[in-house]
Each structure stands twice: as structure tokens, then as C-alpha cells.
Structure 1
Amino acid sequence: MLCALIMAGGKGTRFWPLSTEEKPKQFLNLIGEETMIQMTVNRIKPIIPVERIFISTGEMYVDLVKEQLPEIPERNIIVEPQGRNTAPCIALSAFVINRYYNDATMVVLPSDHLIGDENEFRKVVTSADEFVNKNYESIITLGMKPTRAETGYGYIRYSNNETKVNDHKVIKVDAFVEKPNKEKAEMYLNEGNYLWNGGMFLWSINNVLDQIKKYSPNTYNALEEVETTSEEKLQETINKNYKDTEAISIDYAVLEKSKDIYVIPSSFGWDDVGSWEALDRYRDKDEAGNVLVGDTKTVEGENNLVISSSQSVVVEGLSDIYVIEHDGKILIGKKSNVANIKELKEII
């Protein structure tokens, strides 16, 4: 039985000022009419019913989850008392899901990624599920075939030890590699046995709990009570014990130590939409190459990024700039410097 865990606790600081701590990017409609978290849930619903879709988030975002995803059962909203990275989040969620679906398989998905070919994405997840069902101790990660020498992503180096499930290769992982500099990223692209790490995993819940118990025992011991406590005292138990977990990523806590990790090379148009440049890549453009969002327009200008959430914005006679308005704040600069917007927060 396949369940989904969608991690939605991030603060989305890279998209400031549009994304704020009060309403981070997973709750914004950055790409289309749906918010990022709505897109994530709707993408997986054809193969996993809503009663088996769980959302992990912070207390301050629970109302946003309920507002944007009213079909998700309230018990399926897993509330982290504080952000302590992905290993405690996944451990907590595994214990909670195990209360309702014992020994299920779990696919872990970020809430704020873009998938172009959603049908192919679901086929990959289905193949990964089949592999894990036949190989209980295995961990599957989805690796994206790189299309450029990207320095903003971690990479997965894979071996030549491969098998096939349906139409998909399942290959043994050699190593997880940190975000490279430009020279190394170009080397990875040329060598051909590196994939982008999209932070999506699939495993048996009991297996990942065994792995956490082995490699991150403090986290396991702190949360073990979650699986057996009464429903009435569940959140109280979480609040009491969560602070005693080890604040560490699942990559460092488990994946870099586990011996049975595989990757499925995937080509379904993935992007983590982690930058303004990504937004510029995927938003529809007018005939002059302008991205216009909200009550905005350009006159005799091209290749601009103009986004407004509450004000009317008109750009006349200018090209290659960004204009971003949110809640009365207006940021204007060279489009080539759009990645530096976050640094302006200190000035404002």
C-alpha cells in the first residue's frame, strides 16, 4: 500500500518579498492558477487517494493547508512543533503514518517542485513502488537527468549496476554529491553518470524507521512513543519529544550511510522552482519575452520580469529589468541581478 508524505514546512526565503515566513512559496501560485502545494497533491492523487496523502508542516501553516487542501483529512496534517530539518520530519511522519497504515510504502515529496510530464512522473513512482515491494530493504530516489551545468542542486553519482522495472532503469547509487562549483558541474554533465538530486524518495516505512534507529538513534528514541500514544494525546506527545530529535537532513542521517540505495533516472520536466530565474523559465511570456504576473503591462520593452500582487504596474521603454511588487514594497533592478533580491531584504 502506497502513501505519500508531502513536506510543506519550508519558509521559502529565496522568493522574498513575494514569499514570506507567514506565507512561503509552497502556498503561492508562482507558476499557474494552483498553488505549488495544490499542484503537488493533484499530481499524486491519480495513484494515491487523499486518505493516504499526508502533509507535514509547521504550526503556523496548518490553517493555510486546511484552506488550500480542504479534501485532506485533518488527521493527515502532521504538525512539527519546530523546524529541525528533514530527518526528524520524515521520522515523525513515518511513525504517524504507521499508526494508520502499518508497513506501508511511503513516497516523500517536496511541496514546491514543478513537474512538466505528470503522467510520466506517476509511472516512475509506480515503478519505484514495485521495486521496493520486491526489495524490502531498498531505498529509491528519483534522479533527474541534468540539462545544464547547474550549481544550485546536489547530484547523485550512479554505478553500472542496474535492473529494469517496467520501462524504467533502477540503478545502484554510488554517492550523493554536494552542490558543485561551475567547473565540477560541467564535469558531472560531461561524464554522464550524474543526476540531479530532487529530494524525492520511496521506501518501506518500517525499513526507513529501522534505518533511522540504526543511524540516528536519538531521533528514533525521541519519537518512538508517537506510534502508540492515544489519538487524544498525539500532538501533546509530539510537542513534548520533538525537541529531543537530532536536527539533521535525511541525506546526512541515513542516505549517505545506507548500503541499499537505488536511483531511477527520470525525465519528466522537473524543477525545484528555487529561484526567480526558474520562475522566468516556466511562466508564459508575451511576444516580447516579458513575464507579466498580476495587474502589469509593458510598453515598448522586452525580456522583463514584472510581478505584482496588489498594485497596478506599468513599465515603459525599458528592457532586461525586473519589477516585483508585494504588499506595497517595490523592487526594481537589472534582470541579470534578480538572484540577488534576497540580499536586499536587509536594506529594506
Structure 2
Amino acid sequence: MLCALIMAGGKGTRFWPLSTEEKPKQFLKLLGEDTMLQMTVNRLEKLVPIERVFIVTGKCYVDLVKEQLPKLPLSNIIIEPVGKNTAPCIALSAFHINKIYEDATIAVLPSDHLIKDEDKFLEMLSAGDEFVSKNEQSIVTIGLRPDRPETGYGYINFGDINCTINSYEVRSVNRFVEKPNLEKAKEYLEDGHFLWNGGMFIWKVANILRLISLHLENTFDVLSEIAATSEENYERVLEEKYNEVDSVSVDYAIMEKADEIYVIPGEFGWDDVGSWSAIERYQRKDEFNNVCLGNVKNIEANNNIVVSSNKPIVLVGIDNIFVVESDDMIFIGKREEMETIRELKMKI
């Protein structure tokens, strides 16, 4: 039985000032009429019913999840009291899902990625689900074929074909690679045996719990104690004990140590929408090459990026700038400086 675990606790600092700690990018409408979180859940509807969709997020974002996903059962919101990286977050969620669906297969997915070809993406998830169901101690990840030497993503070095499921290759994973410099990224692109790591994993719940007990014994023990707590005391014990888990990424804790890891290479119009340049890539431009979100009017203005949250913004005779209006500030700068916005925040 396939369940989806959507990780929605990120801070989205690269989209400041529109994205804030109180309302990060997964809860924003960056690429259409729906928020990034809503887009993620909506694309899963053909494959995973809402009662088998789980959201793991911080306590401060629970109300946003409820507001944006009113059909989601409240019991499917998994609360992480404090951010401790992806391994304990996934482990906490696995214990929770295991109580409801004991023999579940879990697809772990980010909450804020763009996927253009949704049908192909769902076909790949189904292929991964089928493979894991037959190979219960395996992990399947989805790798994206790179089309540029990207330094902002981790990579997956893949090996031989294990099998083919519905025309999708399932290949062995040689190793996971951290974000490279530009020279290395060019080498990976030319080599042809490297994929972007999109942070998407498929595994049996029993298997991920086994691997956590094997490689993160302390975290497993702490979470086992929390999971065994009665319903009336669960929140209190979770608050008291969760800080004792190990703060470590799932890539480092599990992926680099597990034996049976496979990857399905794919091309389905993926982007992690990790920076303002991603918005520029996918938003429609006007005849003067302006990207405008919200109530914006350009008069003889060219090559600008303008985001209005509430107030109307009018640009007159200005070129090559960005303007972002949020609830508490208006941020204006040179367009070429937009990718340094996270660093600029520290100076304010």
C-alpha cells in the first residue's frame, strides 16, 4: 500500500523577503494559483488518496497546513517539535505511518518542487513502488537527468540496470555526491552517468525503521519510546524527548551506508524552485522581458522581476532591477544581485 510523506518544514530563506520563517516558500503561490504544497498534493491525487498522504512539518506551520489542505485528515499531520535534519524527521514519520498502515510503502517527497509532466512522474513512482514491493529491503530514489552543469544540486552516480518496469530502468547506485563546483558539475554532465538528486525516496516502512535501528541506534531508541507512549501523553513526551535524537541528514545517515539502493532515471520537467532564477525560468514574461507577479504595471520598463503581494507596483522607465513587496517591506535591487538575496538579508 503506497503512502506519500511530504516534507514541509523548510524555511525557504532563498525567497526572502517574500518567504519568511513564519510563512516559507512551500506555503506561497510562486508558480500559479495554488501554493507549492497544494501543487505537490494535487499532483499525487491520481495515485495516492488523501487519506494516505502525510505531511511532516514544524509546530508553527500546522495551521497553514490545515488551511491549505482542508481535506487532509488531522491525524496525517506529523509534527516535528524542533528541526533536527531529515533523518530523524523521516524516522518520526515512519513510526507514525507504521501505526496506521503497518505494511506501507512510503514515497518521501519534497513539498516545494516543480514537476511539469505529472503523468510521467506518477508512472515512475508506481514503478518504484512495484520494485520495492518485490524487493522489500531495497530503497529506490528518483534521479533527474541533468541538462546543465548545476552546482546547486547533489548528484547520484548510477551503475548497471537491475530491471525495467513499464519502460523505466531501475539502476544500481554507485554513490551519492555532494553539491559540486562548476568544473566537477561539467564533468558529471559530460560523463553521462550522473543524475540530479531530487531528494525523493521510496521504501517499505519496515525497511526504513530497520535501517534507522541499524545506523542511528540512539534516534531509533528515542523515537521508539515516543511511539510507545499513550495517545493522551504523546504530545508531552514528544516535546520532552525529541531533542535527544541525532541531528543528521538521511543521505549521510542512511543512503551512504545502505546496501540495496537503486535509482530510476527520469525526465519530467523537474526543478527544485530553490531560487529566484527558477521563478524567472518558469513564469511567463511580457513583451519587454519582465516577470511580473501580482498587481504590477510596467511603462517603458524592461528586463525586470517584480513581485507584488498586496499593493500595486508601477515601474516607469526602469531596466534590470528586481522588486519584491512583502507584508513588512519592499526590497529593491539590481537584477544581477537577486541570487545573493539571502546574504543581503544579513546586512539589514
* Shorter-normalised TM range: over 0.9
In the alignment, is the contact (CA less than 8 A) between 1:157 and 1:176 conserved in 2?
yes
Q: Distance in 2 between matches of 1:142 and 1:241?
A: 33
Q: Any idea what SS the aligned residue of 2:79 has?
A: strand
1:77-156 to structure 2, matched below 5 A, reads 77-156=77-156
Deviation track 1:64-91 (CA, whole Å, cap 9, x = no partner) reads: 0000001110111000010000000000
For 1:95-123, what per-residue CA distance to the aligned partner results, in whole angstroms no more than 9, with x for missing partners?
Answer: 00000000210000111111011111110
1:328 positional shift: 4.3
Secondary structure of 1:158's partner?
strand
Aligned length: 348
Residue segments in structure 2 that go unaligned for 5+ positions in a row: none
Alignment match, 2:42: 42
1:318-348 residue CA offsets vs partner (Å, 9 max, x unmatched): 2222111112422222212210112221232
1:237 & 1:128 partners in 2: Cα distance?
35
Q: Secondary structure in 2 aligned to 1:119?
A: helix
Q: 153-162 or 95-104, which moves further after superposition? A: 153-162
The 5 Å alignment of 1:137-286 reads 137-286=137-286
Cα offsets for 1:260-309 (capped at 9, x unmatched): 00000011111110000001111121122211011111112222101111
Are the equivalent residues in 2 in contact too, given 1:311–1:328 (CA < 8 A)? no
8 Å Cα contact 1:8/1:110 also seen in 2: yes
Q: Which residue number in structure 2 is paired with residue 344 of structure 1?
A: 344
Distance (Å, rounded) in 2 between the aligned partners of 1:45 and 1:225: 34
- Provide the rounded CA distance (Å) in 2 between the counterparts of 1:122 and 1:234: 35
Contact 1:162–1:171, Cα closer than 8 Å, also in 2:
yes
SS across alignment from 2:346: helix
Contact 2:141 2:200 in 1 (8 A): yes
Give the TM-score of the pair, scaled to structure 1.
Answer: 0.98
User: How well do the aligned residues superpose, as a CA RMSD in angstroms?
Assistant: 1.1
Is the contact made by 1:96 and 1:226 (CA closer than 8 Å) also made in structure 2?
A: no
8 Å Cα contact 2:161-2:169 kept in structure 1: no
Query: What is the alpha-carbon distance in structure 1 between the residues aligned to residue 320 and residue 181 of structure 2?
Result: 26
Q: Which runs of 4+ in 1 moved over 4 A?
A: none
Aligned residue identity for 2:198: G
Q: Answer with 280-289 or 62-71: which moved more.
A: 280-289
Is the contact between residue 95 and residue 226 of structure 1 (CA under 8 Å) also seen in structure 2? Answer: no
- Give the whole-Å Cα distance in 1 for the aligned partners of 2:105 and 2:226: 19
Residue 239 of structure 1, CA deviation? 1.8
CA distance in 1, matches of 2:335, 2:194: 30
SS of corresponding position for 2:175: strand
Query: Which digits, 9 at most, give the CA deviation of each residue in 1:147-189, with x for residues without a partner?
Result: 1100000000001243211110000000000000000001100
Amino acid at match of 1:48: V
- How far apart, CA to CA, are the structure 1 residues paired with 2:163 and 2:173? 12
**For residue 149 of structure 2, what is the amino acid of its counterpart?**
A
- Note if contact 1:98-1:227 (Cα within 8 Å) is conserved in structure 2: no
- 1:8 and 1:55 in contact (8 A); partners too: yes
In 2, the alpha carbon distance for the partners of 1:188 and 1:216 equals 31
What amino acid is aligned across from residue 187 of structure 2 in structure 1? Answer: M
Partner of 2:22 in structure 1?
22
Q: Which amino acid aligns with 1:145?
A: R
Secondary structure of the structure 2 residue equivalent to 1:347: coil
Report percent identity of matched pairs: 56
Q: Which of 69-78 and 329-338 deviates more?
A: 329-338
Q: Which runs of 5 or more residues in structure 1 are unaligned?
A: none
Could you tell me which amino acid in structure 2 is paired with residue 97 of structure 1?
Answer: I
1:267-306 correspondence to structure 2 within 5 Å: 267-306=267-306
Letter in 1 for 2:173: V
